[in-house]
Amino acid sequence: MSFSPNHAKLVSADGTKFNIEKSGKLYYLNLTVSSSMSKKQGKCKSLKDWHKILGHCNLEDILALEKVVEGMKITDKKEFDCGVCVKGKMVQHRSRKPDKRATVPLQLVHCDLAGLIDPIAKEGFKYALAFVDDY
């Protein structure tokens, strides 16, 4: 990519040249998509496709984007259930059964490492390690 004060140029790996226009402090890559390609690669997609493309964005926000994003078209505006979003909202279920306890000394030992500690110990140690016997 090459930049000049008011213009930039991008050359792809296959040698295709793309002109990039500057508007204010932003650079824009303007591409024209033929009508045969527009259904596959253009900006005309279903609500479900836009939801995936935009990282599982809220459906209401996607519908609002259509009004402000030039060229963005939503073909199928039916609401749907997204499995990824449902899984993301699930919480971990914890068992209410108490854990098994140790029946003899040193059968189960809990440890906790803390550090870097400040101030450093007199011997120069920077970490603290605690052991607790479950018995």
- Tell me: do 39 and 61 sit in the same domain: yes
| Residue 96 lies inside a defined structural domain of this protein | no
What's the pTM?
0.41
Dihedral over alpha carbons 16, 22, 27, 29 (to 10 degrees): -30
- Tell me: do 80 and 41 sit in the same domain: yes
Domain that holds residue 67: 35-90
List of E strands, 7-77: 7-11, 17-23, 26-29, 44-45, 73-74
Q: Domains in the chain: how many in total?
A: 3
Average pLDDT value for residue range 23-50: 66
State pLDDT tens for residues 38-74.
444 457 889 999 898 888 989 999 999 888 887 788 9
Average pLDDT value for residue range 123-131: 89
**pLDDT surpassing 50 at residue 11:** yes
Please give the backbone phi and psi of residue 83, each rounded to the nearest 5 degrees, phi first.
-60, -35
- Tell me: do 58 and 16 sit in the same domain: no
| Residue 54 lies inside a defined structural domain of this protein | yes
The residue whose two tokens read 């607790």 is 132
